[in-house]
Amino acid sequence: MEKFSSFIQKAFAIGSLFFVLGLAFGFEYSLNLLGYFLPSSTLSAVNARSAHVSLMLYGFVPLMLSFLPFVLMEKENVHSEKGLEKLKIYFTLWCIFLVFMTISLLLGVHRGLVFYDFAYELNFILAFSGVFYILALYDYIKAYKVIPLWIKVSLYLVIASPIALLVLMNPVIGQVEKTIVGPHGDNTLGMSFTLIPIFYLLIKLHAKETFVAKYHAMWIIPLVGYIASVAHRIFIGDLSYNQEWFFQYLTLCFVPLLIKWLRDANITFKNNPFLTISVYSFLFVDIEGNILFIPSIRWLFHRNDLIVAHAHIAMGVGIFFMAMAVVSPYLKKLNQLSFSFFYTLGFTLMLIALSMAGLMEAGFIQADIHLLWTIRMLCGLFIILVTTGFFYPQLGLNVEKLDSLRLYHLTGFLSDALGGIFLFAFAATLYPLLGFGFEGKYEYIVFAFMTTTGILHLFGLLQPLYAPMLAKISAFNRIVVSAMFLSLYLSHQLGVEAMLIAVYDLVFASVYIMFASKFERRLYV
């Protein structure tokens, strides 16, 4: 149990970094809408928007949600060390996917799809991570003498997921390319239905009293409707608007169902703010979505800021707090009530501004769009500050007195990791101003090396036991790279920037060489 708890806390800390990064890209895009642009080719408005949406959809939220079966099994005192090791591999591979996805999007590799904009090839990393997720789930299941039905269903769905992912996302035979054309009321029904089992498991996890699900007809009717819509598309053909409208309205069955489940489980905002906010946000989006599907209304608001607000409620509030509800039992340092209040406050003000902007764009009211977008931007900044402030204690970072070795690693992290990220973002503008040539090819490899060298120094700060060894590795890397760049400069294959890199790395490595004995005497305690 302690090992699993430690893993969830570390996974939350790493996942939250991707979440804050996604928020930061969203903030930048809100600045772009106001006419403020960074002097960067990688941080263009198109790239920032794509990275923001993709990190929100494929970053922190799905990672935390994927832990739900394991959290439930741990609650039932079912443990598996082998399963936990495979779960760690799954998490690591997913994070690798996020790194690949973010960098490729910032370098302009897009599919032109709002919700699936990253390159199709990256899905193979996700599918590979899914294999370890299946193996982890199987190891945990072996501990049961009698396997519960919910676990059997989870296992079957997860086994099918990697294959379904590669097929559905395929640019030739998949369905993803068709999602940019609407309306699709049956698709909304299917997506909404997938959240109902998750809500059921979360209510089961957090129930304050013995929970027995009721109102089964309220999920059976939508399920039958969705199956009928899929069969119609396969065997008969496309659905008419009125047919899709009918299937869309079946989602209203979920309103009484979830309210009944919450009450029966005795879950309230006071004893579980995350799950309560998630459920009621989902219900709000459900009702609003059905209103927006009315033909005379739909085309007035189609793809304007009211729809943006609708999407932000669904993902930024509803699904986000659903993910938080999964891991909340392990977040002992997080004040759930306060975080829920301030985070929701920021989003509420943002959504009011976006909704008013949508009403203005549809011609219902007169308003200053620049003012409304400014409010949106400020609310985004507020959400970033709130999230960072409340999540920071969960990162487990301790500020200690600096000794010489800590100072060496801190300097390396600030200069290389942050410097590499800065150059990745702004080198295309900065290099020509300094008189350097910039091809936008090998330079990005250099920036990647700089960043990873800085991360080595960060590990030296966070892992005191390995700090001396990491210092040696970083110094050795710098010497080799310095020699390579100086040789390329002397052979006239690279310009003066290569000499500057060579001198910088050689000086940094020389500092370690001169003070190595002092560093080794003053080990971390």
Instruction: Give 339-407 as a DSSP string.
Output: HHHHHHHHHHHHHHHHHHHHHHHTTSS---HHHHHHHHHHHHHHHHHHHHHHHGGGGT-------HHHH
pLDDT on residue 243: 85
Which amino acid is located at 266 in the chain? N
Give the model confidence (pLDDT) of 19-47 as tens digits. Answer: 999 999 999 999 999 999 998 889 999 99
444 within a domain of the structure (yes/no): yes
pLDDT on residue 381: 96
Cα gap 83→331, rounded to integer Å: 22
Residue 410 φ then ψ, to 5°: -65, -45
The pLDDT confidence band at residue 295, using thresholds 50, 70 and 90, is confident
Is the CB of residue 302 less than 8 Å from the CB of residue 296? no
pLDDT on residue 524: 44
367 within a domain of the structure (yes/no): no
Q: How much of the chain, in percent, has pLDDT values that exceed 70?
A: 89
From residue 456, alpha-carbon distances to 93, 285, 297, 408 in Å are: 19, 44, 55, 12
The CA-CA-CA angle for residues 176, 181, 184, to 5°, reads: 85
Q: What is the pTM of this model?
A: 0.87
State the average pLDDT over residues 63-91: 91
Give the model confidence (pLDDT) of 262-272 as tens digits. Answer: 999 999 999 89
pLDDT on residue 192: 84
State the average pLDDT over residues 391-400: 69
507 within a domain of the structure (yes/no): yes
Instruction: Average the pLDDT over each of 85-94, 133-142, 410-419, 509-518 and give the range with the smallest value.
Output: 509-518
State the average pLDDT over residues 110-133: 86
Q: Which of 145, 173, 202 is the last residue of a domain?
A: 145
150 within a domain of the structure (yes/no): no
Structural domain of 35: 1-145
15 within a domain of the structure (yes/no): yes
Q: Which of 88, 122, 145 is the last residue of a domain?
A: 145
What is the count of structural domains for the chain?
2
392 within a domain of the structure (yes/no): no
Instruction: Average the pLDDT over each of 185-189, 303-307, 403-407, 511-515 and give the range with the smallest value.
Output: 185-189
Higher per-residue pLDDT: 518 or 38: 38
Q: Which of 118, 145, 172 is the last residue of a domain?
A: 145
Cα gap 276→224, rounded to integer Å: 27
pLDDT on residue 280: 96
Classify residue 17 as exposed, middle or buried by CB count within 10 Å of its CB (0-12, 13-18, 19+): middle
68 within a domain of the structure (yes/no): yes
State the average pLDDT over residues 302-330: 91
Give the model confidence (pLDDT) of 429-451 as tens digits. Answer: 888 888 887 888 888 888 998 89
Give the model confidence (pLDDT) of 152-211 as tens digits. Answer: 766 666 666 656 555 555 555 444 545 445 446 667 887 888 888 889 989 988 988 788
DSSP 253: G
484 within a domain of the structure (yes/no): yes
Q: Residue 208: helix, strand or coil by DSSP? A: coil
